[in-house]
Amino acid sequence: MTAAPHALVCAGCGWTAPPVEAERYPFRCPNAGRDDGDHVVTRRLDPSAVRWRGNDDPNPFVRHREMLTAWHVAREHGEGGVADEAFVALVRRLDRAVREVDGRGFRVTPFGPSPALADRLGLDVRVKDETGNVSGSHKARHLMAILLYLQVVERGEAPPLAIASCGNAALAAAVLARAVGRRLEVFVPTDAEPAVLARLRALGAAVVPCPRVPGGTGDPCVRGFHGALAAGALPFCCQGSENGLAIEGGETLAWEILDALGREALDVVLQVGGGAMASAFVQAFRLAHAAGWTPRLPRFHTVQTRGAWPLRRAWDILQDRVRTLGEAEALERAARHRSEFMWPWEETPRSVAHGILDDETYDWLALAAGMLASGGTSVVIGEDTLREANALAREATGIGVCHTGSAGLAGLLQLRRDGVIGPGARVAVVFSGEQR
């Protein structure tokens, strides 16, 4: 029996989602929470059955539509099967609706060399600029993949949507929800920026502040979010562990870099909070490498702040396991015993790069596997380096990026100083999150 060209499977236990007629919302593995496994639903794709460079359309969700679960489901399980042209028309309708709300639609975002950064660092630095994306960051890319899927599978019903976020992800969710007239609950920390809260309310989102309990651990916003899911809301979020489709939306950024790079070698330095963006890069490049679309993997490097670095903590533990068990067995153990490696940060996270202060790196295992496979590493950055990098980013490029959005550059500064990245190397960073 020939395997389907597309499927949704759990990377932790192998569960495979049934057809949409049996399970309309296969966002989270049903075994999650039943054991200590690292259950994340991910897309399995036969690269011989798709084209990722099929056209030069300026809309990434048209250009790379064959990489999306929504496209495959529409073609296979829509009402009689939806033609490719009908799916493209759906993308364009949603894009117009988003533009009416935000003033910006989905377009391939700039990626190219920064001569000024190259001169300062002695490196060939390439910048992917997401500050002009929908709602001012890359977060809407993750959510558009989910929204397209909902538009394909729903027939009249429209459960409320929910997200836990301190800023950019919430704004992106509110823009997209408003574009389709969908109710959205946003669970935010009590110290969320007033400008962000005002914008969320102006977009019609139901904002729920979530105070921390003295002595408690874990993100109270995530607890509130889980309560909303239990009450029937759908996860409209950027954590792959809660909605695996979010990762493939972020992959469109990596496909654009691959479009521009050709066969060039590369290091990629990525800021990490919950881990969705970095996980999307890792999974897209690993698929492209396995398919022969690119001759080599980049070295993946991840960056967190001294305010909270659960990924680096897990990475250090995994490195110890690799030394004693070997790489394959260590990764298998991590997939089956998540709490040995990843658990909530014990202190209240604080940093000028507040957008990457997640208590856990929810999509950590894909990142760790990518760093192992590529020879990359994880670094932790102090506040002085975060401020230095942001000032350098704004001065050298003229891009109005926030401290969260330039945290990848802060990691690059540290990796350069540590000698991990040597003179003349070609390195990509992502500037995501406009200064508000």
Strand pairing partners for 383? Answer: none
Pairing of strands 41-45, 234-235: unpaired
Would 338 be classed as within a structural domain?
A: yes
For 257, the domain range is 111-135+247-431
State which amino acid sits at residue 185. E
Would 301 be classed as within a structural domain?
A: yes
Would 303 be classed as within a structural domain?
A: yes
Pairing of strands 426-431, 206-210: unpaired
Would 239 be classed as within a structural domain?
A: no
C-alpha angle with apex 4: 294 to 371, nearest 5 degrees?
35
| Residues 128/110, Cβ–Cβ less than 8 Å | yes
Q: 252 pLDDT exceeds 80?
A: yes
Would 312 be classed as within a structural domain?
A: yes
Amino acid 77: pLDDT: 72
Q: 1 pLDDT exceeds 50?
A: no
Q: Among 38-52, 199-213, 322-336, 362-376, which stretch is predicted with the lowest mean pLDDT? A: 38-52
Pairing of strands 161-164, 184-189: parallel
Would 206 be classed as within a structural domain?
A: no
Pairing of strands 426-431, 124-129: parallel
Alpha carbon distance 39, 57 (integer Å): 35
Alpha carbon distance 270, 374 (integer Å): 14
Kindly report, residue by residue over 191-227, the tens digit of the pLDDT: 888 989 999 999 999 999 999 877 667 789 999 999 9
Q: Annotate 179-225 with DSSP letters as a single string.
A: HTT--EEEEEETT--HHHHHHHHHTT-EEEEEPPPTT--S-HHHHHH
**78: confidence class by pLDDT, cuts 50, 70, 90:** low
Kindly report, residue by residue over 2-38, the tens digit of the pLDDT: 457 889 999 999 999 998 888 999 999 999 989 999 9
Would 395 be classed as within a structural domain?
A: yes
CATH classification of the domain holding 335? 3.40.50.1100
- Considering its fold, how many domains does the chain have in total? 1
Mean pLDDT of the chain: 93
**360: confidence class by pLDDT, cuts 50, 70, 90:** very high
**80: confidence class by pLDDT, cuts 50, 70, 90:** low
Alpha carbon distance 279, 226 (integer Å): 22
| Relative orientation angle of helices 276-291 and 364-374, to the nearest 10 degrees | 50
Amino acid 2: pLDDT: 46
Mean pLDDT of 226-232: 95
Dump strand ranges (E) for 165-308.
Answer: 184-189, 206-210, 234-235, 267-271, 299-305
Alpha carbon distance 272, 361 (integer Å): 8
| Residues 197/218, Cβ–Cβ less than 8 Å | no
Q: Is the dihedral of CA 193, 431, 290, 107 positive or negative?
A: positive
Would 324 be classed as within a structural domain?
A: yes
Mean pLDDT of 353-367: 92
